[in-house]
Amino acid sequence: MDNLDTIIEKIRATFTARNATRDLTLGRSRELIRFCSLTIRAVHREEFPEAEQLLNTAKQAAAAMKADIAAHPELYYTGYTQDSLKELTEACCVFAIVQHQPIPTPDEIEVDPAAYLNGLAEAASELRRRALDLIRRDRVDEAERMLTAMDDIYAQLVTIDFPDALTGGLRRTTDTLRAVLERTRGDLTTTLQQEKLQKALREVESVMRKE
CATH of the domain at 65: 1.20.58.2140
What pLDDT tens digit does each residue of the chain (211 aa) get? 778 878 888 888 888 888 888 888 788 889 999 999 999 999 999 999 999 999 999 999 999 888 887 777 777 777 778 889 999 999 999 999 999 999 999 999 999 999 999 999 999 999 999 999 999 998 999 999 999 999 999 999 999 999 988 998 999 999 999 999 999 999 988 887 776 656 555 555 555 666 5
State the pLDDT at residue 113: 94
Tell me, yes or no, whether 83 and 130 share the same domain: no
DSSP string, 46-105: T-HHHHHHHHHHHHHHHHHHHHHTTT-GGGGGSHHHHHHHHHHHHHHHHHHHHTT-PPPP
Tell me, yes or no, whether 204 and 145 share the same domain: yes
State the pLDDT at residue 125: 96
Q: How far apart are CA 201 and CA 199, in angstroms?
A: 5
Tell me, yes or no, whether 23 and 73 share the same domain: yes
State the pLDDT at residue 155: 97
What secondary structure letter does DSSP report for 137? Answer: T
Tell me, yes or no, whether 19 and 64 share the same domain: yes
Tell me, yes or no, whether 68 and 152 share the same domain: no
Three-class SS of residue 206?
A: helix
**Among 83, 104, 125, where does a domain finish?**
104
Q: Are 124 and 150 in contact (CB under 8 A)?
A: yes
Q: Are 78 and 115 in contact (CB under 8 A)?
A: no
**Among 55, 70, 104, where does a domain finish?**
104
State the pLDDT at residue 159: 96
Owning domain of residue 92: 1-104
What secondary structure letter does DSSP report for 34? Answer: H
State the pLDDT at residue 102: 96
Q: How far is CA 62 from CA 24, 118, 124, 207, in A?
A: 13, 17, 22, 62
Q: Are 147 and 188 in contact (CB under 8 A)?
A: yes
Q: What is the largest CA-CA distance in the chain?
A: 110
What secondary structure letter does DSSP report for 127? Answer: H
Tell me, yes or no, whether 29 and 125 share the same domain: no
Tell me, yes or no, whether 130 and 79 share the same domain: no
CB-based burial label for 157 (10 Å; 0-12, 13-18, 19+): buried
pTM of the predicted structure, to 2 decimals: 0.85
> How many domains, the chain?
2
